[in-house]
Each structure stands twice: as C-alpha cells, then as structure tokens.
Amino acid sequence: MDLTLYVWRQNGPDEKGKMEQYEAKNVSPDSSFLEMLDEVNEELIANGELPIEFDNDCREGICGTCGCVINGVPHGPQEKTTTCQLHMRQFNDGDTITLEPWRAGAFPVVKDLVVDRSALDKIIQAGGYTSAYTGEVGEANQTLIPKPDADYAMDAAECIGCGACVAACPNGSAMLFTCAKVAQMAVLPQGQVEAAERVKNMTEALLNAGFGNCTNHYECEAACPKGVSVKFIAKSNREYIKALGK
C-alpha cells in the first residue's frame, strides 16, 4: 500500500517545528507502524536527508518508550495498542497519516517526535514505592493478600509509563499515571503504612512538574495502551482526602 505522511519535524526544544510531507510506498500490511517509519527513514538516508527521530526500544508494547500522536490520537487508531504494536493493516492504501509528538507542557520536545518525559520519573521519586530495605523482609507468604486485591493492584501496575494519558488529556494531566501507582500501593498491605505520605507527595510532585489536574474527560483511559482505568483516579482522590486528615 502507498501512504502520504505528514510528520512533525523540529530540530530542537527551542527551534520552531513544522509538518513535512513524505510518501511511504509499497508498505506491507504485515509491517508494524515503526517498521513503516524505518523504511521511510531508509529512503531519506539514501537521499541524503535527515531521518525522522522517534523514540522506540522493545517494539513489543511493554517498555513504554515509543509513542506519537497518529491522526490526532496518541498511539493511533487501534484500542489498547502501543505505536510499536500498531500494524499497517489498520490503514488503507492511499491513506494520509499525520504524526506528531506528545504535546504537553511538561513534555518538552527534544527533536522531531521525541519528547522529554523525565517529569514522570520525578513523580515516582516523590513516593511511588514502599520503603522496604533490601535484606530480610519476612517470608513472602506470611502476609496473605486476597486475590481481588492482588488483581486490582496488578490492573493498576500494568501502566507502562509511556505518557499517552498526558498527551490525550486536554489539561496535560498525568493523573492516570500517578494515581495508578498510588492505587496499586494503597490496596496492598505492604504499601498501606506509607499511603498518606505517598499520595500527598506524589500529587505535589505532579503539580510541580507542570502537569494539569483532572477534570474527568476520560481521554486518558481511552488512549491508554494498557487500558488502565480511571477508577484509579477516584481511588487516589479518596486516598488524598483521607490523607488530609493525617
């Protein structure tokens, strides 16, 4: 299949960017979206032009490195699918595709489709952990955890930290990312001791990093490649209210 691409090209954080047009010819429907971009880049290299920079690594949908806004939707048209797992059979011959980086105040553009997501690391550093020392921490089966709680924690822990939720949110909020971690830890006995401190510190870090707050658009859940639910935002908000009294 043949496609027309409009790709955001930007040389650096302080440079002005613009959309450039490229043609992708003879694309195999079995190739992945990033493999399609690889081929466009090979063509650009052959013509002595600068290839498009885009972040990617595992190419199996788990590391959270890749991601761009495809036709206005973070990670593109297929539900619960990262950009690297999107395959070209989702498109039709002759389609026009626009590609842009994550757009959010807290994610400055580094180059082309690459953004700086270090703000997400800062949120985890503020409290997204239990303070367990490495060493003798007690036998694993000593604390029973009901299966529904373990499953709930796992649902929250599925987050891959790609930042699609931020890109999708009209407020550029990282609430889904933050609250998923708060909720995972809050439901587990190991995380409950520090729950109040955690939710306060992580929320503060979120706001300090320049992310907006949540106004219930639910765009984050729709864009999330792992289907992390907005119910964790509600859980985290309850944790926050509880923490205020402490």
For other proteins, the binding residues in 25-54 under the rule CB under 8 A are 28, 30-32, 34-36, 38-39, 42, 44-46, 48-51, 53
Question: Which one of the spans 84-92, 167-175, 215-223, 233-241 is the region binding other proteins (CB under 8 A)?
Answer: 84-92
Contact call for residue 75 and other proteins (CB under 8 A): no
* Distance of closest approach, residue 229 Cβ to other proteins, in angstroms: 15
Of 63 and 234, the one with the shorter C-beta distance to other proteins is 63
Window 100-119: residues binding other proteins (CB under 8 A): 110-111, 114, 116-118
* Distance of closest approach, residue 194 Cβ to other proteins, in angstroms: 10
Instruction: Annotate the chain with DSSP letters as a single string.
Output: --EEEEEEE-SSTTS--EEEEEEE-S--TTSBHHHHHHHHHHHHHHTTPPPPP---SSSSS-S-----EETTEET-SSTT--GGG-BGGGS-TT-EEEEE----TTS-EEETTEE--HHHHHHHHTT-S--PPSS----GGGS---HHHHHHHHHHHT-----HHHHH-TT-B-HHHHHHHHHHHHHSHHHHTTHHHHHHHHHHHHHHTT-B---S--HHHHH-TT---THHHHHHHHHHHHHHT-
Contact call for residue 125 and other proteins (CB under 8 A): yes
Question: Which one of the spans 167-175, 182-190, 206-214, 237-245 is the region binding other proteins (CB under 8 A)?
Answer: 182-190
Question: Which one of the spans 67-75, 80-88, 211-219, 231-239 is the region binding other proteins (CB under 8 A)?
Answer: 80-88
Of 54 and 168, the one with the shorter C-beta distance to other proteins is 54
